[in-house]
């Protein structure tokens, strides 16, 4: 036989366990790089084309600033400033993938192509 106090403690325990399990499911995801900021505006006399040949979206950074998403199995272009700049492309949907990073010398009037194949 249980006492009224025992029932209250049991109900509180069940509630705490339910909250903890709920938080576990909310915080679990496939991971990936998901910036908590809107893309920065970028313009220039050159162009960057990211060709994403994978089944996952990719986040694209220009000199450390997030500029947008290259969606899965598509490509995206950005107008960028001329000169040497660092490009980083990361898997937006999956953890444990190594980001692509390279410093590229962008030339006026030219399109520089970066092709991504996440495995």
82 lies in the same domain as 110? yes
Tens place of pLDDT per residue across the chain (119 aa): 555 566 666 555 544 544 444 433 333 334 567 687 899 999 999 999 999 999 999 999 999 999 999 999 999 999 999 999 999 999 988 877 889 999 999 999 999 999 999 87
Domain that holds residue 100: 46-116
Report the C-alpha gap between 31 and 49 in whole angstroms.
25
**Gyration radius of the chain's alpha carbons:** 23
23 lies in the same domain as 54? no
21 lies in the same domain as 62? no
* DSSP bridge pairs for 70: 58
Q: b/e for 94-112, b at 16 or more Cβ within 10 A?
A: beebeebeeebebeeeeeb
Which one, of 54, 73, 70, lies nearest residue 119 by Cα? 54
């Amino acid at each position: 036989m249980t006492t009224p106090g025992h029932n209250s403690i049991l109900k509180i325990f069940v509630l705490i366990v339910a909250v903890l399990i709920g938080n576990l499911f909310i915080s679990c995801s496939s991971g990936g790089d998901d910036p908590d900021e809107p893309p920065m505006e970028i313009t220039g006399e050159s162009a960057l084309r990211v060709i994403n040949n994978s089944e996952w979206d990719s986040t694209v950074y220009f000199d450390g600033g997030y500029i947008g998403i290259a969606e899965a199995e598509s490509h995206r272009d950005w107008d960028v400033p001329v000169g040497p700049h660092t490009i980083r492309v990361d898997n937006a949907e999956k953890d444990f993938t190594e980001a692509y990073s390279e410093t590229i010398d962008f030339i006026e009037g030219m399109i520089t192509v970066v092709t991504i194949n996440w495995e």
